[in-house]
Amino acid sequence: MDYLDNLFFAILLICGFGYFFTNIKKIKRNINLGIAIDRTDNPSARWKNMAMIALGQSKMVKRPVAGILHIIVYVGFVIINIELLEIIIDGLFGTHRVFSSMGALYGLLISSFEILALLVLVAVIVFWIRRNVIKLKRFINPDLNGFPKNDGNYILYFEMVLMTLFLVMNATDTHFQLLNSGNIVSQFITPIFSGVSTSNLHLIERTAWWLHISGILVFLNYLYFSKHLHILLAFPNTYFADLNPLGELSNLEAVTNEVKLMMDPNADLFATPVATEGDVPAKFGASDVQDLNWVQLLNAYTCTECGRCTSSCPANLTGKKLSPRKIMMDTRDRLEEVGRNIDANKGVFIPDNKTLLNDYITPEELWACTSCNACVEECPINISPLSIIIDMRRYLVMEQSAAPMPLNAMMTNVENNGAPWQYNQQDRLNWKNES
């Protein structure tokens, strides 16, 4: 490499990482548009969750085929990228395989990278077949129409190309092949290039090297636009996930205080302020992304669009309009739209007459939910579509009095009779008199 190559490489690196960090800052800003909640309690349980679920992928293997293939791709891709360190040093300082001086250890490392590259290649081909030939239902559902469907394939093509370039780069590197250490896979590719002159071989090796590093930088920046952001966000997402039992719903503090006061026979309703300004939230529930909390927004950015939630959702399975995956995708799309609005208006959100409710998610979808928590249970990275559904329903009920008729009747009965049924409180125990 000459001086100009090193300079060009440094510029490529600065642009690649610079654009990536600019977008990461945008994601952070958008997530912080959410309401503040504290999720720093019980750090040991949180670290354990992160280690088991994000790193150990314990929930992925509930579906063994996809789980094991995913672990191969994930582990392989991460470990192979350790080689990036050598590529960066070589690129910046004009060295060639700077770590090869480590001898046998270098051979061992590159051998494992080559084996993993081959396994990743096989795994992504199987993934591609599942999506495009077998056409698993959760990958062809209408909520994936358009870019999300292509996104799943693009990333597989990326991985195929990057792994192939890595192996070709090694196979055509005469210096590396002469070491005869670490070329456990590439030695079988080298014969393909047997008729190629040394200078052309060098040209192929350099081209593969440049395309490999450029491809990694493009991949890194593509993450922001893709569901594959979960590669990074799965870690904070599992750390900050709700630790409460699944069936436990959060209460609105202002409402709880009111109810407690009403239930207390000794309460002096006139002496005690029912609620001061500050106690009452500006809005009950959520109609737009800014009304959700920051963990729900982090959930939206982290969703892998795998569809495990939708494929286990009883509402979806019985033909209702609800898809928990779509709830997450819509939340992310709306959040991105709000973010673009802020960018275009010098850091201030200008109302655009749109909301997450109605423009993205309809009340019909929200009321189809049985709140069974199957989606939360199934999600491989502890996302809760249900918490968003509940918050949006709260808005419909408490701000718009827009609950469906049967629900309104039930709530009226609870209010009047202390029970969901339409009969007098006095008659509630009549059942025990029946023979």
What is the contact surface with ligand SF4 in residues (CB under 6 A)? 303-309, 313-315, 322, 324-325, 328, 369-375, 378-379, 381, 383, 385-386
CA count, 13 A, side-chain hemisphere, 305: 26
Q: Is 35 helix (H, G, I), strand (E, B) or coil?
A: strand
Q: Are 342 and 25 in contact (CB under 8 A)?
A: no
Which residue type does 176 have? F
Measured distance CA(94)–CA(88) in Å, rounded: 10
Closer to ligand SF4 at the Cβ: 53 or 165?
53
Residue 100 or 153: the one with the smaller Cβ distance to ligand SF4 is: 153
Q: 293 in helix, strand or coil?
A: strand
Distance (Å) of CA 376 to CA 142, 170, 227, 310: 21, 44, 18, 10
CB of residue 52 vs ligand SF4: minimum separation in angstroms?
A: 16
Q: Which is nearer to ligand SF4, 219 or 301 (CB)?
A: 301
* Helices 104-132 & 147-171 angle (0-180, nearest 10): 150
Question: Looking at beta carbons only, is 328 or 338 nearer to ligand SF4?
Answer: 328
Nearer to ligand SF4, 338 or 386 (CB): 386
R_g of the chain computed on alpha carbons: 28
Cβ 399 to ligand SF4 shortest distance, Å: 21
Residue 62 C-beta: closest distance to ligand SF4, Å: 11
Residue 395 CB contacts under 8 Å (≥ 6 apart), including other chains:
283, 284, 285, 286, 287, 291, 357
Beta carbon nearer to ligand SF4, 208 or 375:
375
In the chain, the largest separation of any two C-alpha atoms, in whole Å, equals 99
Closest distance to ligand SF4 from the beta carbon of 311 (Å): 9
Cβ proximity to ligand SF4: between 141 and 186 the closer is: 141
Q: Give least dist CB 322 to ligand SF4, A.
A: 6
Cβ-based nearer residue to ligand SF4, 168 or 383: 383
* Nearest distance, CB of residue 57 and ligand SF4, angstroms: 12
* Closest approach of ligand SF4 to the CB of residue 325, in Å: 4
Q: Report angle CA 172, 174, 178 to the nearest 5 degrees.
A: 130
DSSP state of 319: T
For ligand SF4, give the closer residue by CB, 212 or 230: 230
Q: How far apart are CA 428 and CA 418, in angstroms?
A: 10
Question: Minimal distance in Å, beta carbon 116 to ligand SF4?
Answer: 25
CB of 362 to ligand SF4, least distance (A): 14
- Identify which of 368, 370, 289 has the alpha carbon closest to the alpha carbon of residue 321: 368
Residue with smaller CB distance to ligand SF4, 116 or 357: 357
Closer to ligand SF4 by CB, 287 or 304: give it: 304
| Residue pair 412/403 in contact by the 8 Å Cβ criterion | no
What size, in residues, is the chain? 435
The CA distance from 302 to 227, in Å, is 7
Residues 6 or more apart in contact with residue 270 via CB below 8 angstroms: none
CB of 231 to ligand SF4, least distance (A): 13
- Whole-number minimum distance, CB 136 to ligand SF4, in Å? 13
Question: H or E segment at 198?
Answer: helix 198-222
Cα–Cα separations (whole angstroms), residue 212 to 45, 123, 151, 207, 219: 39, 19, 20, 8, 10
